[in-house]
Each structure stands twice: as C-alpha cells, then as structure tokens.
C-alpha cells in the first residue's frame, strides 16, 4: 500500500468514525441505562431511549431566563465534538483531553449564567470535578509522552505494550468516566435528588438536547480513549495483513469499551454519592500518587535507563 492510499484510507475512516461517533455514544449511554436497570432487577428502557429523549427535547419550547444558557450549552456540544474530531483524526492526545475539560467548563458557565441557587452550587461542584480529573488525565498524557516520545494518538494506537507500561491509565480513565458521565460516587454537580441537576437546572428544550448530544460525543470520546490503551494491530498485522488487523482491533476496542462501561455502571450502582470535599481528596491523595509512581517507574526505564 503506497502512502497516498493509506492517507485516503485513514481520512475515510476518520470521517466515518466522526459521523458514527454521536450514534455510538448514544448507544453506549442507552446500553448503560439498560445495564443499570438489569443490575437493579428491572427491565429498563429501550437501548434507543437517549435518542427518543433528545428527539422529544428538540420539540419542547425554551424557558431559559438568560440567553447565555443556550450559548453555553452550544459551546459544550461544540467542544465535545471538536475533541472527538481530534480523536478520530488520530491527532494529539493532550489536546483531546484538554478539549473535553474545556467543554466541562462551559457547563459550569451555564450554571453561573442561571439564577437558581442550585445552579450555582452545581457550577462550583462542576469546576471541582474538572480540577480533580484534568491533572490526572494530563499525567496520563505525560506517561504516553515518556513511552512513545510524542502525544500522537496515531502512535499510541500502534503501541501494543502501552498497557504494560501505563496500567494506571486504566484507573484514571475509569475515574474520569465516572466523574464526567456523572456516575456515582462522583455525580456531584448534577446530583439529581440533591440539587436537581445542578448547573443544568435552568436548561430546557433545545438547550438541554444540545447538552445531551454533547454527552454522546463525550461518552464516545472517553470510552474511545479508554480502549486506546488496548492495541493488537502490531501483534496481528504481520500474520493477517493490515485490514483484517484493523477489523480485529476495532472488535477488541468495542469489547474493551463495553467492559469499561460495565465497570463504570457497576461502581455507579454499588456506591452512594460522596460529599463534595471527598472528590479532590480522593483524586489528590489516592489517584495522583498512583499515577505519579507509575510515571516515575517508566521515567526510570525510558529516560534514565535503569532497567
């Protein structure tokens, strides 16, 4: 395969993935709700329920007290979509992670644009969530930099031993999924029975639909990054050739994403909501040292050449 046809193939795959991304994210959220229901011995909603919800929200009228709410909801949607663009074009991991964090900031701004007290409480908690998760994600990106020499997802996707060097990335990604998909014990900002959806409390109709669709991209992106740490292409492609290897890799990544989602939903169902101050404590006292030790070990191997 010459260089040109490879470029065409990769760009076609990127476009196809980007078109499918919101649908796959929506499916993941629907499957998550079904899993949750089955764990509680319920039948649960149809898998396409998030689709029905958004279709309904799009035909509802708008009750926003402040036009900024709509702008912020749109920004949340756009930045999540941009992060997915960087992800599916196999771009820069660091930029993807920072864009996901930036999108969350717009949820906080939507909260501050509202006038309800719950909206402000939720916005502050959302900032706390970003503060707790983003340093860990950046540490993981630094780990990838140390192992691969760059931040490119293209190289990350071809490194089949990354999971052996960076096992802490799995913990961090599960933690990030819990926090940003608003699952227990870290669903602080939209704690629905406590502060009635926090920063989203004044959103309705189309604006709420935009936030929901932003979550589709976000779910796809985070599960995608999670599954990026499990690669088989370099192991399989010498035996089968490139195209079957990519197909096998995509199947493996789907299975990995499914089990990641299962773990997230299980933790959600098995735990109760933490008090807000426990989230940064958990992040900085437990998660950060684990990732730091991991980074020190791989630095000793790749930078200092100790073993």
Partner 1 sequence: MTLVKSPWVVHFSGTSCNGCDIEVLAALTPRYDVERFGILNKGNPRFADVLLVTGAVNPRTAKSLRNLYDQMADPKAVIVVGSCGSTGGVFHDCYNILGGIDQVLPVDVYVPGCPARPEAIIDGVVTALGLVKAKLEAAARGEAAPKPEAPAAKAAPEGGEA
Residues that bind partner 1 in the complex, under the rule CB under 8 A: 33, 37, 40-46, 49, 52-53, 55-56, 59-63, 192-193, 196-197, 201-205, 208
Q: Which is nearer to partner 1, 108 or 119 (CB)?
A: 119
Helix (H) or strand (E) holding 293: helix 288-302
In the complex, the smallest distance separating the C-beta of residue 28 from partner 1, rounded to whole angstroms, is 18
| Minimum distance from residue 262 beta carbon to partner 1 (Å) | 19
Q: Is 291 left (phi over 0), alpha (psi -120 to 50) or beta?
A: alpha
CA distance 199 to 217: 19
DSSP 8-state code for residue 200 = G
CB of residue 71 to partner 1, shortest distance in Å: 17
Q: Which is nearer to partner 1, 64 or 94 (CB)?
A: 64
Q: How far apart are CA 50 and CA 209, in angstroms?
A: 10
- Distances in Å between the Cα of 191 and the Cα atoms of 90, 195, 197, 282 are 34, 6, 6, 18
The residue among 57 and 83 lying less far from partner 1, judged by its C-beta, is 57
The span from the CA of 249 to the CA of 253, in Å, is: 6
- Minimum gap (Å) between residue 204 Cβ and partner 1: 4
- Cβ-based nearer residue to partner 1, 30 or 143: 30
What sign for the dihedral angle of Cα 91, 94, 97, 100? negative
For partner 1, give the closer residue by CB, 54 or 133.
54
Q: Which is nearer to partner 1, 86 or 191 (CB)?
A: 191
- Shortest reach from residue 132's CB to partner 1, in Å: 25
CB 67 → partner 1: shortest distance, Å? 15
- The Cα–Cα gap between 192 and 159 comes to 41
183 vs 253, beta carbon nearer partner 1: 183
Q: Do 62 and 206 form a contact (C-beta atoms < 8 A)?
A: yes
What's phi and psi for 241, nearest 5 deg? Answer: 95, 170
Minimum gap (Å) between residue 217 Cβ and partner 1: 20
Alpha-carbon separation of residue 233 from 128, 256, 275 (angstroms): 38, 15, 43
With beta carbons less than 8 A apart as the criterion, state whether 200 and 208 touch: yes
């Amino acid at each position: 395969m010459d260089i040109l046809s490879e470029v065409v193939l990769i760009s076609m795959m990127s476009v196809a993935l980007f078109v499918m991304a919101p649908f796959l994210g929506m499916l993941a959220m629907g499957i998550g709700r079904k899993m949750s229901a089955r764990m509680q011995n319920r039948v649960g909603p149809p898998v396409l329920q998030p689709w029905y919800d958004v279709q309904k929200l799009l035909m509802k009228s708008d009750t926003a007290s402040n036009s900024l709410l709509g702008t912020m909801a749109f920004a949340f949607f756009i930045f999540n979509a941009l992060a997915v663009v960087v992800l599916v074009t196999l771009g820069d991991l660091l930029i993807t992670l920072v864009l996901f964090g930036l999108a969350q900031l717009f949820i906080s701004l939507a909260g501050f644009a509202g006038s309800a007290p719950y909206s402000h409480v939720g916005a502050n908690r959302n900032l706390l969530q970003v503060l707790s998760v983003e340093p860990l994600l950046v540490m993981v990106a630094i780990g990838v930099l140390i192992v691969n020499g760059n931040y490119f997802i293209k190289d990350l996707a071809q490194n089949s031993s990354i999971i052996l060097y960076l096992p802490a990335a799995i913990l961090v990604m599960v933690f990030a999924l819990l926090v940003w998909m608003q699952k227990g014990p870290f669903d602080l900002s939209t704690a629905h029975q406590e502060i009635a959806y926090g920063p989203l409390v004044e959103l309705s109709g189309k604006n709420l639909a935009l936030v929901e669709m932003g979550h589709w991209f976000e779910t796809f992106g985070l599960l995608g990054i999670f599954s990026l740490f499990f690669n088989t292409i370099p192991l399989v492609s010498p035996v089968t050739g490139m195209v079957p290897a990519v197909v096998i890799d995509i199947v493996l990544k789907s299975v990995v994403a499914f089990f990641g989602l299962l773990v997230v939903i299980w933790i959600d169902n098995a735990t109760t909501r933490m008090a807000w101050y426990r989230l940064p404590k958990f992040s900085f006292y437990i998660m950060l040292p684990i990732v730091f030790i991991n980074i020190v070990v791989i630095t000793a191997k790749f930078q200092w050449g100790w073993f």
